[in-house]
A and B are shown apart, each in its own frame.
Chain A
Amino acid sequence: MHQLGQVGLLLGLVLSAYGMTAAAVGARTRRPGLVESARLTAFAVLALMITVNGAMLVGLLTNDFSLRYVAGNSSTGTPTFFKVLSLWAADDGSLLLWNLILGGYLAAVAIRFRRDRPLTYPYALSVLFGVQLFYLILINGPARPFALLANPPLDGRGPSPLLQNHPLMAVHPPFLYLGFIGFTVPFAFGIAALLVGRSSDDWVSLIRRWTLVVWCFLTVGLVLGALWSYSVLGWGGYWAWDPVENVALLPWLVATAFLHSVMLQERRGMARMWNLVLVIGAFALMTFGTFLTRGSVLSSIHTFAESGVGPAYLAFLTLVLLGGFGLVAWRSSSLREPARLESVFSREAAIIGNNALLLSATAIILLGTVFPLVVEAWTGDQITVGAPYFKKAVAPVFLLLFVLVGTAPLLPWRATNRQRALRRLRYPTVAAALVAVGAAAAGVRQLETVAGLALATLVLVTNAQEITTGLVRGRRGGRRGALLRGRRRFSGLAVHVGLAIFAFGIIASSSFAQQTEVTLSSGQSAELDGYRLRYDGLTTDEQPQRTVLTSTVTVTSPGGEPHGVMRPALNLYPAASEPIGSPAIQRGVVWDLYASVIGLQDNGASATFRFYRNPGVNWLWLGGLVMALGGVSAAWPRRARPRRGRQPVSEREPQPEPESEPGTDLVDLGVS
């Protein structure tokens, strides 16, 4: 396996170098044959990456401890499922997955453009190969997963305990990587557009769809991360504003800004340079995030140990920033396009506001994350910038953003008919006001909570209302016709609805959670919010890779009825100095009952528990799902429709009526 792996990786490196040069040279010298050879090379690279990953997988499954990676991350006692997952559990192995996914995107681009050949395509291919080349240099150089051990041990160390505790490890990293790595594609096309230098806009729709797909993956990846944190780590929360979590969020924010400002370019020809800046920025932030996570610049649960890759990532990041923003600076004059707004109450202005707010949030989070580094470099003092800071700092930005999300879908392009907009705002504002007044009357004391609830209501009602009135109004072709025609708009509205649900989840769980920490001896009960929780003893389960100490907690509801049994556990792994807890969760539509055992005394005669009642956590997962589905729906390829001119009468778009929907307008003709 060792040979196969090393050779495969080296070959991949060589081929990527070839592909990068051939595509670029072929484009410059107008030799389509060269470009085509580069395109086919993409498939070869993917095949090699699959082989190489397969080789490592075989090594893991056959307990080949002569491989340093296998010895360090797997053991004979590890269950097969988690052996497979160890492929991405640690630095070098996850680089294998990274290269595989990158190769997959490369091949996807190659397939997608087997027939149409926009001018930007060869350069984009070249850039993609270039990025793949970098990651292959890394994996052939400083990080070598197929390195051999001189004296192979009899048994491996096993994966880090936290990473083999839960099946979510199967999906969180892959989705996250699909999201992260995917930003390479829009970036490649952005650079290509800059290189080609034409002022044509055909790259925008290309990039838009790719970015949307990548955004969906990243949304799912982030939400799964939160789910993992909640279900596995046992601290009752889902987002700790950890530096690595923060840098994963940053490209998502920038991508969201891009997905909105891209509309400015498509419909009004504005913001061309800005869109390129956003696309390059998203990729740069992703690269920066990778550097922070793997380059041992900060310490975190996700950081992989010092492995000499730091300087390489830094060099790559510098190249990306210089190349990308340098090109933008170089082409800035040809990208300038006089933008014109008719009114400040227009969709265009709202999008500008959206970008301003999202980019502010990005800047705040980025600055806060790197600030400890700055202070340490300047004064030598070490400080922490943690969750309380971030929560307070970004809350106002997101509240302001929600004002936009709750009103902008009502604004048409160019200029608003004020009466119409106000009419549409009736129900949303009334609903928001009712919520605000109701919360105040119910005794809620925190300003952000009430403001957040009211604004989330506004967003929910506005967007839901727009969906329903749009459906009702779609006369031609019936409801289904309206849905298909305005699909892009409806998908966007659906994403906003998902966002509102998500926001309700955040506000509820942050403001109204209850918790208690108590030490109970066997038979004793604790009380939380009317629920009685009785500790009923400990059971020990010896497994090959760990010892599981499961406590039994019998729950009684406030009414006195039995409410099930919860079994929070402590897992003792030989490699870990402290036991890793597994919480027990009773999930409900609104309230979760959450139990985690954090200490045992006298062999289980008594145990220390933390019990929580968390409202709204499940709305986070629901909201995230709706957002992702909305994104998928927006990205779904359209059926080819007959071009204009020879259309049958029934399919022809109606003339814009005075009462037409802002947005389901001429643009959504469905020409694909």
Chain B
Amino acid sequence: MSATRGRPSGSAAMVTVAVLAAVGALLFIGLRGDPPPQTRGQLAHQIASGLRCPVCQDLSAADSPAPIARQMRVQIDEKLAKGETAAEIRDGFIAAYGNSVLMTPPRHGLASVAYGFPLGALGLAGLVAALLLRRSLRRPMSDETELIRTEGR
């Protein structure tokens, strides 16, 4: 393995280039322009995925095979054809069923707190981990009581 020792920066360069290329690809995708306009069918499917099938357990109107979900899909398509916007269609269903017909919590009011959970949880965990790391990195070297232990049973 000493043959490779003569080129210490080779690996670093390769890895750096690879990481940059990957990040570049992601940036390219992220900063790309608007996606091509959706067809009416695609938009209908998207709206239906955001609505809950009222007779099912946790399936969206787009996924559910139930007849009432099928009817919702038909109705969404018809309403789009009539020129209603996605928001109007959603509001129509909320008027009949209440907020629980949305597959995700509404974006206003107490329920919208849910959208803060992911960042909050990650942030908290990250903070605790960082503090822990910092504290244990700073600790002075104790005498070697931290022997590597053999496996037990």
Could you list which residues of chain A lie within 8 angstroms of chain B, going by C-beta atoms? 201-202, 204-206, 208-209, 234-237, 240-243, 266-270, 299-301, 338-344, 349, 352-353, 355-357, 359-360, 363-364, 367-368, 371-372, 375, 378-379, 381-389, 392-394, 396-397, 400, 413, 419, 422-423, 425-426, 429-430, 432-433, 436-437, 439-440, 444-447, 450-451, 454, 488, 517, 578, 581, 596, 598-599, 608, 610, 659, 665-672
Q: B153, A578: Cβ atoms under 8 Å?
A: no
Report Cα–Cα, A488/B150, bound state, in Å: 13
Residue in B17, B25, B65, B104 whose Cβ sees the most chain A Cβ within 10 Å? B65
Question: Which listed residue, A340, A378, A396, touches B118 by the CB 8 Å rule?
Answer: A396
Q: In the bound complex, what is the Cα–Cα distance between A237 and B63 (angstroms)?
A: 8
Known: A375-B110, A381-B99, A387-B60. A436 touches B148 (CB 8 A): no
Q: Are A344 and B133 in contact (CB under 8 A)?
A: yes
Contact B129 A266 (CB under 8 A): no
Residues of A close to B92: CB separation below 8 A: none
Residues of A within 8 A of B153 (CB): 205-206, 209, 672
Which chain B residues lie closer than 8 Å to A400 at the CB level? 122
Q: Which residues of A contact B66 (CB under 8 A)?
A: 578
State the Cβ distance, B13 to closest chain A Cβ, in Å: 9
Residues of B within 8 A of A381 (CB): 98-99, 109-111
Q: A389 touches which one: B104, B110, B147, B148 (CB < 8 A)? A: B104
User: B25: which A residues are within 8 A, CB to CB?
Assistant: 433, 436-437, 439-440, 450, 454
- From A236, A352, A388, B50 is in contact (CB under 8 Å) with A388
Specify which of B18, B29, B66, B106 lies most central, judged by the most chain A CB atoms within 10 Å of its CB.
B18
A668 and B151 within 8 A (CB): yes
Output the least CB separation between A299 and chain B (Å).
Answer: 7
Contact assessment for B129 and A353 in the assembled complex, using a CB-CB cutoff below 8 Å: yes
Per the bound structure, the CA–CA distance linking A234 and B117 in Å amounts to: 32
Chain A's closest residue to B30 (CB) is A447
Contact with B152, one of A204, A392, A599 (Cβ below 8 angstroms): A204
A425 B111 Cβ-Cβ under 8 A? no
Specify which of A359, A367, A665 is in contact with B117 (CB 8 Å cutoff).
A367
Q: How far is the CA of A394 from the CA of B121 in the complex (A)?
A: 11
Are A429 and B50 in contact, CB atoms less than 8 angstroms apart?
A: no
* Chain B residue with the shortest CB-CB distance to A342: B137
B37 beta carbon closer than 8 Å to chain A: no
Q: Which residues of A contact B29 (CB under 8 A)?
A: 440, 444-447, 450
> Can you offer 7 A-B residue contacts whose CB atoms are under 8 A?
A201-B152, A349-B133, A384-B52, A388-B103, A396-B122, A429-B22, A440-B28
| Separation of A598 and B72 alpha carbons in the complex (Å) | 14
Q: 7 closest Cβ contacts across the A-B interface?
A: A205-B152, A429-B18, A386-B103, A433-B18, A356-B125, A598-B65, A440-B25
Given A364-B121, A385-B105, A517-B73: A267 in contact with B149 (beta carbons within 8 A): yes
**Chain A residues positioned under 8 Å from B103 (CB to CB):** 384, 386-389
Cα of A429 to Cα of B12 in the assembled complex, Å:
11
Query: Any chain A CB within 8 A of the CB of B100?
Result: yes
In-complex Cβ contact of A383 among B24, B67, B102, B118 (8 A): B102
* Alpha-carbon separation in the docked complex, A451 to B15 (Å): 17
Give the CA-CA distance A419 to B106 in the complex, in Å.
50
CB neighbours (8 Å) of B122 from chain A are 357, 360, 396-397, 400
Most buried by A among B26, B109, B145: B26
Answer yes or no: B88 CB below 8 A from chain A CBs: no
Q: Which residue of the partner chain A has the closest CB to B150? A: A671
Q: Is residue B11 within 8 Å, beta carbon to beta carbon, of the partner chain?
A: yes
Q: Which of A378, A397, A451 contacts B26 (CB 8 A)?
A: A451
B49, A388: Cβ atoms under 8 Å? yes
Smallest CB gap from B64: residue in A? A235
**Residues on the A chain within 8 Å of B102, using CB:** 383-384
Q: Give chain B residues whose Cβ lies under 8 Å from the Cβ of A668.
A: 151
Whether B117 contacts A393 by the Cβ 8 Å rule is: yes
Q: Is B82 part of the binding interface, using a Cβ–Cβ cutoff of 8 Å?
A: no
**Least CB distance, A109 to chain B, in whole angstroms:** 13
Contact pick for A359, options B1, B49, B125, CB 8 Å? B125
Q: Which of A201, A237, A387 contacts B149 (CB 8 A)?
A: A201
B21 with A433: CB separation less than 8 A:
yes
Chain B residues near A436 (CB, 8 Å)? 21-22, 25-26
B31-72 interface code vs A (CB 8 A; 1 in, 0 out): 010010000000000000110100001111001111100100
Enumerate chain A residues within 8 angstroms of B22, measured Cβ to Cβ: 429, 432-433, 436-437, 454
Q: B8 an interface residue at 8 Å Cβ cutoff?
A: yes
Chain B positions 102 through 136: 1 when the CB is less than 8 Å from some CB of chain A, otherwise 0: 11111001110010011001101110110011001
Which A residues touch B21, using CB under 8 A? 433, 436-437
Indicate if the CB atoms of B149 and A384 lie closer than 8 Å.
no
Please tell me if the beta carbons of A659 and B1 are within 8 angstroms of each other in the complex: yes
**Among candidates A383, A444, A445, residue contacting B100 with C-beta atoms closer than 8 Å:** A383
User: In the bound complex, do residue A344 and residue B137 qualify as a contact, i.e. CB atoms below 8 Å apart?
Assistant: yes
Q: How far in angstroms is the closest Cβ of chain B from A643? A: 10
How long is the Cα–Cα vector from A236 to B64 in the complex, in angstroms? 9
- Smallest CB gap from A355: residue in B: B129
Closest to A580 in B: B65
Q: In the complex, which residues of chain B have a beta carbon less than 8 angstroms from the beta carbon of A384?
A: 52, 58, 99-105
Question: Does B114 contact A371, Cβ atoms closer than 8 Å?
Answer: yes
Of A367, A371, A440, A669, which one neighbours B151 at CB under 8 angstroms? A669
Interchain CB contact under 8 A, B28 and A445 = no
Cβ–Cβ < 8 Å partners of A598 in chain B: 65, 67, 70
Whether the pair A599, B70 counts as a contact (CB closer than 8 A) is: yes
Residues of B with C-beta under 8 A to A343: 137
Minimum CB–CB distance for B153 against chain A, Å? 5
Alpha-carbon separation in the docked complex, A384 to B99 (Å): 8
Question: How far, in angstroms, from A670 to B150 measured CA to CA in the complex?
Answer: 8
A235 in complex: contacting residue of B30, B59, B101, CB < 8 Å? B59
List B contacts of A372 (CB < 8 A). Answer: 100
The smallest beta-carbon distance between B23 and chain A, in angstroms, is 8
Q: How far is the CB of B137 from chain A (nearest CB, A)?
A: 5
| Alpha-carbon distance A516/B34, docked complex (angstroms) | 25
Contact pick for B114, options A236, A389, A425, CB 8 Å: A389
Give chain A nearest CB distance to B140 CB in angstroms. Answer: 8
Instruction: Give every chain B residue within 8 A of A669 (Cβ-Cβ).
Output: 150-151
Residues from chain B with Cβ under 8 Å of A266 in the complex: 149, 151-152
Across-interface contacts of B28 in A (CB, < 8 A):
440
Contacting residue for A360 out of B14, B24, B125, CB 8 A: B125
Q: Tell which of B17, B25, B32, B136 has the most Cβ of chain A within 10 Å.
A: B25
Q: Which of A301, A341, A385 contacts B137 (CB 8 A)?
A: A341
Q: Which residues of B contact A241 (CB under 8 A)?
A: 58
Q: How far is the CA of A300 from the CA of B57 in the complex (A)?
A: 5
